[in-house]
A and B are shown apart, each in its own frame.
Chain A
Amino acid sequence: DAKTTQPPSMDCAEGRAANLPCNHSTISGNEYVYWYRQIHSQGPQYIIHGLKNNETNEMASLIITEDRKSSTLILPHATLRDTAVYYCIVRVADSSASKIIFGSGTRLSIRP
């Protein structure tokens, strides 16, 4: 699996959009970009994933650059409950032998 690079920490004001960047310059053509988050002491939680096109769900939006070498996770209206460590991961989607490798992630703090 390709490696990703994320800033170690970020903060955002409550109610504003939180934009979390991720670089994955060595991503392969069949690798998807996944985002997970881990709220203190809980198991990691799936947020969103995408291959080429931008994706949106009820939690977040994922913007992937045209060259696929970087992406941004957007939490449109951050709340205090979004305080967590956010992990950007690239992997082949449909291979049972392809494991999630977690980096150190971005610790997002939401200010009241």
Chain B
Amino acid sequence: DTAVSQTPKYLVTQMGNDKSIKCEQNLGHDTMYWYKQDSKKFLKIMFSYNNKELIINETVPNRFSPKSPDKAHLNLHINSLELGDSAVYFCASSHLGSYTFGSGTRLTVV
């Protein structure tokens, strides 16, 4: 009964490939997010969706495209992967300011 689940947990891929990370929450929250944590351990917000609508879009290359088929899911598709995309990506959902994070997807681009 995981609250926020991400798949896959680990992803190793070559430069130039296209990959997706999936996120699902069973908390009934209206808002979902993607965060990126780089090798220096800074957690930075990338996107936020509220009821399937994009409401926050930080300065992220347009190779990154979030998709929310319904309010329980927020997937992240990344085109033409680059070495600098290697990081841990966290999905989160929130209700009234309280966030629940997934366990992260460690993406390694080689």
* Pair from one complex: yes
Chain B interface helix/strand/loop/mixed: strand
Question: What residues on A are CB-neighbors of B110 within 8 Å?
Answer: none
Do A96 and B92 touch (CB < 8 A)?
A: no
Given A96-B31, A99-B33, residue A49 in contact with residue B55 (CB < 8 A): no
**Pick from A44, A96, A100: contact of B55, CB under 8 Å:** A96
Do B101 and A45 touch (CB < 8 A)?
A: yes
Do B50 and A46 touch (CB < 8 A)?
A: no
Q: How many residues belonging to B are interface residues under a CB distance threshold of 8 Å?
A: 27
Given A96-B50, A97-B55, A97-B56, residue A41 in contact with residue B104 (CB < 8 A): yes
Cβ of B93 to closest chain A Cβ, rounded Å: 11
Nearest opposing residue in chain A for B101, CB measure: A43
Judged by a CB distance under 8 angstroms, whether B103 is at the interface is yes
Judged by a CB distance under 8 angstroms, whether B100 is at the interface is yes
Question: What residues on A are CB-neighbors of B41 within 8 Å?
Answer: 85, 104
Question: What residues on A are CB-neighbors of B56 within 8 Å?
Answer: 97, 99
Residues 6-42 of B at the A interface (beta carbon under 8 Å) = 30-31, 33, 35, 41-42
Cβ of A60 to closest chain B Cβ, rounded Å: 15
Cβ of B105 to closest chain A Cβ, rounded Å: 10
Nearest opposing residue in chain B for A102, CB measure: B43
Do A96 and B90 touch (CB < 8 A)?
A: no
Residues 37-54 of A at the B interface (beta carbon under 8 Å) = 38, 41-46, 49
Q: Which of A32, A92, A102 has the most CB of B within 10 A?
A: A102
Interface mask (A68-112 → B, CB under 8 Å = 1, otherwise 0): 000000000000000001000001111011111110100000000
What would 20 A/B residue contacts be, using CB atoms closer than 8 Å?
Answer: A34-B97, A38-B43, A42-B103, A43-B90, A43-B92, A43-B101, A43-B102, A44-B99, A46-B98, A49-B98, A85-B41, A94-B97, A96-B30, A96-B48, A96-B94, A98-B97, A99-B56, A102-B35, A102-B43, A104-B41
